Amino acid sequence: MGRFMIAVLPGDGIGPEVIAEALRVLEAIGHCFGHRFEFHEALIGGAAIDATGSPLPPETLERCRRSDAILLGAVGGPKWDDPTAPVRPEQGLLGLRKAFDLFANLRPVRVFPAMVHATPLKEGIVRGVDILFVRELTGGLYFGPRQEAGPDGNEAYDTMRYTRPEIERVVRLAARLAQGRRKKLTSVDKANVLAASRLWRQVTEAVIRREFPALALEHILVDAFAMHLIRRPAVFDVVVTENMFGDILTDEAAVLAGSMGMLPSASLGETPLGLFEPVHGSAPDIAGRNLANPIGAILSGALMLRYSFGLEAEAQAIERAVEAVLAAGYRTPDIADGETCIVGTREMGEAIARYILKEWKG
């Protein structure tokens, strides 16, 4: 029977709606398994800019620091998109990742059996897909030396820079996860062109050979991997890659799962404090209309139970409930295929919470 403090950062657009459903499902888990989850809301992103002028106010950082985990919705929107604005909502999210040194972003991509028809790809290609992406999250192009365009607007640059320890720690984390799965690790880089990728490949090779000799390691160039990912996705197990490649490839991988709305993520560092957020963005076009798919946020709650609190049975209860509700035909509009029961954000959350209460209430 645990007591856990959770910093809840709903953010912008559909963030608040999907987070409300994740909390509903966590409440159901607390009820069935006898845990107490304490939710403390704080501001981030555009909402925080509007209220305080900063996308990551000090009170939010402090709230996160005093919590066992952070649950985040989404940040950004057209309102704050002005390229000349001094601050952007995304800086709140990037700042949070950096502040807690959350260097590994886990993005599991599993295709639920009920969802094999929901993708534009052939059923035979997506059936059985179970990939765990491990995206490096605090280095590379996102955090390397940069120059904004000056008043003349003639030049700007970002730098992909990696150090050996930065590569070692994320590769080790990915390798440990691969050991608990199908023992296959794919490292994605662009070593035929980029110096940072050549270091990445060399360090990855050394870490695996020295410390994880039982793993099968392969290196694939990012352009080829982008193709293999939709041609033969079922062959991949754990995929480790640098920040920017991981950002792009996991959006592509969302197509396998049927929708961006389905994917959860966990950002982890060396301490138990993790940041959990759906992979999708703030989707301002559908915000506030009960249309968003809350499953990515709900499954992020499951990852929080697993990785920050060590509650494996509880995490699986959420995953099984999602699977059951999908099998029963519930669909939000983004994953609807015509013949199933189309529901809103709230109704999807309620159905998942109801299933948990029915199955696990002692």
Kindly list the residues in this chain that would bind ligand IPM in the complex (CB under 6 A). 75-76, 90, 93-94, 247
Tell me how far apart the alpha carbons of residues 323 and 14 are, in angstroms, rounded to a whole number.
Answer: 23
Tell me how far apart the alpha carbons of residues 254 and 73 are, in angstroms, rounded to a whole number.
Answer: 17
Q: Among the options 101, 130, 158, 251, which is catalytic?
A: 251
67 touches 6 (CB < 8 A): yes
Supply the minimum distance, in Å, between the C-beta of residue 138 and ligand IPM.
Answer: 11
Identify whether 142 is a catalytic site residue: yes
| Nearer Cβ to ligand IPM (107/169) | 107
Element housing 165 (H / E): helix 164-179
Classified as helix, coil or strand, 129 is coil
Q: Which residues face 61 on adjacent strands?
A: none
Tell me how far apart the alpha carbons of residues 243 and 124 are, in angstroms, rounded to a whole number.
Answer: 30
**Only segment of 91-99, 243-251, 295-303, 309-317 that touches Mg ion (CB under 5 A):** 243-251
Supply the minimum distance, in Å, between the C-beta of residue 19 and ligand IPM.
Answer: 15
Q: Among the options 12, 247, 307, 355, which is catalytic?
A: 247
| Nearer Cβ to ligand IPM (23/254) | 254
Residue 126: which of Mg ion, ligand IPM, none does it interact with, CB under 5 to 8 A by kind?
none
Q: Where are the beta strands (DSSP E) in the chain?
A: 3-11, 36-41, 69-74, 104-110, 130-136, 146-147, 157-158, 184-189, 216-221, 238-241, 264-268, 274-278, 330-331, 341-342
Q: Which spans in 66-142 are helix H?
A: 90-99, 123-126
Supply the minimum distance, in Å, between the C-beta of residue 12 and ligand IPM.
Answer: 10
Number of residues that bind Mg ion (CB under 5 A): 1
Identify whether 190 is a catalytic site residue: yes
Q: Among the options 12, 68, 190, 237, which is catalytic?
A: 190
Identify whether 251 is a catalytic site residue: yes
Comparing CA positions, the residue from 185, 177, 191 lying closest to residue 208 is 185
| Nearer Cβ to ligand IPM (207/265) | 265
Supply the minimum distance, in Å, between the C-beta of residue 140 and ligand IPM.
Answer: 11
| Nearer Cβ to Mg ion (18/356) | 18
Distance of CA 69 to the CA centre of its chain: 14
Supply the minimum distance, in Å, between the C-beta of residue 133 and ligand IPM.
Answer: 11
Q: Which residue is nearest to ligand IPM (CB)?
A: 90
Q: Is 247 in the site for Mg ion (CB under 5 A)?
A: yes
Identify whether 189 is a catalytic site residue: no
Phi-psi region of 240 (alpha: psi -120 to 50; beta: other; left: phi over 0): beta
Which residues are known to be catalytic? 142, 190, 223, 247, 251
Q: Which residues bind Mg ion (CB under 5 A)?
A: 247
